[in-house]
Structure 1
Amino acid sequence: MSFFSTFLGRLVAVTLALLLLIAAWQSIPLIQSELLGWRAQPRQVTARGDLAEDEKSTVALFESRSGSVVFITTVQRGVNPWTGNPLRERAGTGSGFIWDDLGHVVTNYHVIEGATEALVSLADGRSFRAGLVGGSSEHDLAVLRIGVGVDRPPPLPIGTSSDLKVGQKVFAIGNPFGLDRTLTTGIISALNRSLPEESGRTLTGLIQTDAAINPGNSGGPLLDSAGRLIGVNTAIYSPSGASAGIGFAVPVDEVNRVVPRLIATGRYVGASLGVRIEPEINAALSERLGTEGVFVLDVEPGSAAERAGLRPARLSRDGGFQVGDVLVAIDGQTLRTPADLTRALDRLEAGVQAKLTLLRNGTRLHETIVLGASGRGAGGR
């Protein structure tokens, strides 16, 4: 027998042996199943043990607070331009929360802006047609009212925002993309943020958080670890329109100042000096002159500023620009920019006295002024 024939015979034998071994190995489970009567069974559950303490706290917070969060659907009525038939279209959705035992619901102004109707849905499935009590576009806050007869959801407990710290845990509850009563968590990322809006308004003093906030979360509560309201979720910063870890909330101290006035009068009327200020001109003058403060460009006739004798900027006889009064403090609050004056006046009420500190021709003066009501005109305060 030749070497080649011997080698080929051995190769065939080895191949057959391997094939028989593989077939035998694959048939072992079948043989075992047949011989031992095994059947496929669910695996035994491993005992989990108790939840971690922070998990227990989060669960308890959601269970105790989510019932106070509502789902808001807005509707716009109109007329079909082709047929003349009335139209009733869903305009959008948002979130809100129970403010008190009288049926008042707080949400964002932009949630209900332009709507002709609003429907408020509770956690227990009940829905109510809401009436608009009042709103402030400058604070992006609005108050609705629903007629809840029995089994009223409890109002959220109120916290404070003046003592918040970056790094604190926060919890947002809302209805992102229409998914009702969704909980997201995070921390306070920054404080006193400003956010320009498409309308031209600028929201100031905002809380920044990395808790996921998406479309539909607007108007929902931002809570601290004690379950207290510390802000109203109002906006996100995201090129894609979805959460990018940068969300903003109106601080509760502002909410607790604005909402009672909306409930009482239907609108927010802040204090006003009656001076015209321009941020860009103010920044240029401050840099050129090396002076921090708010430069008075004009004084409105009949205003608190005119009654107090404030002097505006004016053109000199030779065509030059003569600086007028520069406001540097009001009621002890330092004024460096027009935004500082806006925030300071927003915390004061019309008709009250305020102590104004100003620079006039380099001399520091103190005036007591009775503040007027804010007309909120563009560029004016």
Structure 2
Amino acid sequence: MNRTFVRKLVGTVALVGLVGILSETSMSPFDSKFLGKLTSGTALAQDTPSGRDIYQKVIPSVVEIRTLNSTGSGFVVSSDGLIITNAHVVDDGPSVVTVVFQDGSQLTADVLGFDALGQDLAALQVYPESELQAIPTAPIGSLQPGDQVYAVGSPFGIGISFTAGVVSDIDSLDGMIQHDAPINPGNSGGPLVDNNGDIVGVNTALYNPTGNGTNLGISFAISNERLQAFIGSAEAGQLAQSRPTPSAQRPQELLFDGQVVDAALTQESNQFPSGSYYDTYVFSGESGQEVSIQMSSSDIDSYLILLRPSGRDENGQILFEKIADQDDISSENANAQLSLTLPETSSYLLLATSFAKETGVYSLKAENGFTAAASSSNQTASFFCGQSLDPASGENLPTTLSWIPELQGKRSIIVWKSQFFEQFGLTNQQRCVQASSRLQTAIEEERFYLTAGNVDNQTVVCAVGQEGETCGQNYIFALKPTDNPDIVLQQLIVSLRDASGPLYQSRPGETYLDIRDLLTTIPDMGNEN
């Protein structure tokens, strides 16, 4: 299956799988040799359940759900009658529905509510006379592409079905599982189980470009992480009483092919708490990959923000770390451009946004390599955070780089390797991003001189407009308490070439470094990382 095609369909998250494990028993060397001879050429029986075993385990817990207008599937997750299904199975029906078990018995179920975050999940409650058999959930993070899975449900309302397939992809951003176990209309809300018969997902959609509702081998399920978080909310009584409209549109895939994508921020776009609108784009990047992303508009003040997943919170929601952002290319150009070296192999999320609830059309272009920004005639370089090889450790380290249009080459400006600021929650990657962005702003504002000063009792390196000017809130980065500012400025050059840099002493104790001279004297890195 073409993953690019699928990501266009569902956007991109990661889950991991469980396979049957061969049980190990203790035996003597003699027993082992004897058994090897006895079974030579014959496969040993494993304790992995067969498809028949899994069927018999899960079928008593799977139900058909009947509303006034449609049918769907669901499954029991607690012995006292909590049942999970898709929100779209019951969201347009009455508050009371009928569930039918595999043995033909029926119970009335109350629709307890829906996922407050807008996921396609709903909870029902039946009131059985005796305990029901529930399906256990698999451990979170137990599914991997290539694992065997089984889809159970009630397609077309004609009874329970049980089909097998393989996981082909797991989306690293929205928790969606792609698999090829056949599902059809009516399977919605049924469980996806693993080789142990434990739940790893909730079947929710199939891909059918023909529009006839039949399965073409491309099925999707909500992840176990999302399911378990929802079950917790249901048990705590924290459900929405009507199905919320999802607050975020599904990310679109961003292709690095140099083609212009036309889009628009509207009142239907995603919205920050501040009220500003944004669109989301997703792509998979490789460590060390050089990329340029441009956002242009004559209607809005363009703003780009690049994020990557950094973990999950206690509710299983994905957390993101900001990698880079850029507002105006220059004081004369309100378009935005990001040029950077990706720090690791990962999925990335790009936000295309603006300010003050602006709406309007924009264009987006992404390409591999660095592209000089179109800006004022005074701009001599573009700064960005990339990577460079540290000869001492052999590792790629975050590095502030510059791209010089007239030289068509990169310059390494600052390699970030100090661990001092991590105690304050500031990583070298974050320092690199901040300093690179501030250098970009400085050169756009024609503040070409780097010097050192004191801001809020902190020694800093800042960018000023002329020699003799002192630091204010225009600093580029902070220094450790033990750093000598003049030596740091010298090291910006000495660490990169065997010469003293173009430093100027305008008065005792005040050293100024002209960024323009620095850019032209440091050796070209070419296209190497």
Q: How does the TM-score come out when normalised to structure 2? A: 0.41
Q: Determine the C-alpha separation between the residues in 2 that align with 1:355 and 1:99.
A: 43
8 Å CA contact 1:313–1:322 kept in 2: the answer is: yes
8 Å CA contact 2:281–2:350 kept in 1: the answer is: no
Residue 320 of structure 1 corresponds to which residue in structure 2?
334
1:262-341 matches, cutoff 5 A: 262-264=234-236, 265-267=238-240, 274=273, 276-279=277-280, 287-288=293-294, 293-294=306-307, 313=327, 320-321=334-335, 336-338=348-350
The alignment status of 1:186 with 2:165, answered yes or no, reads yes
Residue 225 of structure 1 corresponds to which residue in structure 2?
195
8 Å CA contact 1:286–1:293 kept in 2: the answer is: no
8 Å CA contact 2:76–2:134 kept in 1: the answer is: yes
1:362 equivalent among 409, 415, 436? 436
Residue 236 of structure 1 corresponds to which residue in structure 2?
206
1:67 equivalent among 60, 69, 91? 60
Deviations 1:154-180 (A, max 9, x none): 111110352322221111111011122
Code of the residue aligned with 1:138 in structure 2: it is: G
The alignment status of 1:211 with 2:181, answered yes or no, reads yes
Q: Determine the C-alpha separation between the residues in 2 that align with 1:189 and 1:143.
A: 28
Residue 350 of structure 1 corresponds to which residue in structure 2?
none
Kindly tell me: are residues 132 and 56 of structure 1, through their superposed partners in 2, closer, same or farther at Cα, counting changes over 3 Å? closer
The alignment status of 1:134 with 2:134, answered yes or no, reads no
1:69-84 matches, cutoff 5 A: 69-75=62-68
Quote how far apart the aligned CAs of 1:188 are. Answer: 1.1
Residue 347 of structure 1 corresponds to which residue in structure 2?
none
Q: Determine the C-alpha separation between the residues in 1 that align with 2:148 and 2:178.
A: 12
Quote how far apart the aligned CAs of 1:336 are. Answer: 2.7
The alignment status of 1:104 with 2:103, answered yes or no, reads no
8 Å CA contact 1:207–1:249 kept in 2: the answer is: yes
The alignment status of 1:245 with 2:238, answered yes or no, reads no
Q: Determine the C-alpha separation between the residues in 1 that align with 2:326 and 2:128.
A: 53
Kindly tell me: are residues 206 and 280 of structure 1, through their superposed partners in 2, closer, same or farther at Cα, counting changes over 3 Å? closer
8 Å CA contact 1:133–1:263 kept in 2: the answer is: no
Kindly tell me: are residues 192 and 355 of structure 1, through their superposed partners in 2, closer, same or farther at Cα, counting changes over 3 Å? farther
Quote how far apart the aligned CAs of 1:266 are. Answer: 1.3
1:143 equivalent among 123, 142, 157? 123
8 Å CA contact 2:145–2:169 kept in 1: the answer is: yes
Residue 304 of structure 1 corresponds to which residue in structure 2?
none
3-state SS of the aligned residue for 1:217?
coil
Quote how far apart the aligned CAs of 1:317 are. Answer: 7.2
Unaligned runs of 5+ in 1: 1-51, 76-90, 195-203, 296-310, 340-353, 366-381
Residue 93 of structure 1 corresponds to which residue in structure 2?
71
8 Å CA contact 1:294–1:335 kept in 2: the answer is: no
Code of the residue aligned with 1:94 in structure 2: it is: G
Q: Determine the C-alpha separation between the residues in 1 that align with 2:55 and 2:282.
A: 48
Quote how far apart the aligned CAs of 1:244 are. Answer: 0.9
Unaligned runs of 5+ in 2: 1-44, 248-270, 284-290, 296-303, 309-324, 352-424, 439-475, 477-529
Quote how far apart the aligned CAs of 1:148 are. Answer: 1.1
RMSD: 4.4
8 Å CA contact 1:161–1:231 kept in 2: the answer is: no
Q: After alignment, is 212-221 or 165-174 more displaced?
A: 165-174
8 Å CA contact 2:48–2:196 kept in 1: the answer is: no
Q: Determine the C-alpha separation between the residues in 2 that align with 1:101 and 1:321.
A: 58
Q: Determine the C-alpha separation between the residues in 2 that align with 1:146 and 1:355.
A: 51
Q: Determine the C-alpha separation between the residues in 2 that align with 1:312 and 1:102.
A: 53
3-state SS of the aligned residue for 2:118?
coil
Kindly tell me: are residues 257 and 333 of structure 1, through their superposed partners in 2, closer, same or farther at Cα, counting changes over 3 Å? farther
3-state SS of the aligned residue for 2:175?
strand
Code of the residue aligned with 1:72 in structure 2: it is: I
Q: Determine the C-alpha separation between the residues in 2 that align with 1:314 and 1:169.
A: 49
3-state SS of the aligned residue for 1:279?
strand
Quote how far apart the aligned CAs of 1:229 are. Answer: 0.5
8 Å CA contact 1:177–1:215 kept in 2: the answer is: yes
How many pairs does the alignment contain?
256
The alignment status of 1:158 with 2:137, answered yes or no, reads yes
Kindly tell me: are residues 153 and 286 of structure 1, through their superposed partners in 2, closer, same or farther at Cα, counting changes over 3 Å? farther
8 Å CA contact 1:68–1:98 kept in 2: the answer is: yes
More helix by share: 1
Deviations 1:19-49 (A, max 9, x none): xxxxxxxxxxxxxxxxxxxxxxxxxxxxxxx
3-state SS of the aligned residue for 1:59?
helix
Q: Which segments of structure 1 move beyond 4 Å, counting only runs of 4 or more?
A: 52-56, 311-319, 321-324, 332-335, 354-361
3-state SS of the aligned residue for 2:293?
helix
Quote how far apart the aligned CAs of 1:99 are. Answer: 1.1
8 Å CA contact 1:169–1:225 kept in 2: the answer is: yes
Q: Determine the C-alpha separation between the residues in 1 that align with 2:50 and 2:347.
A: 42
Quote how far apart the aligned CAs of 1:314 are. Answer: 7.5
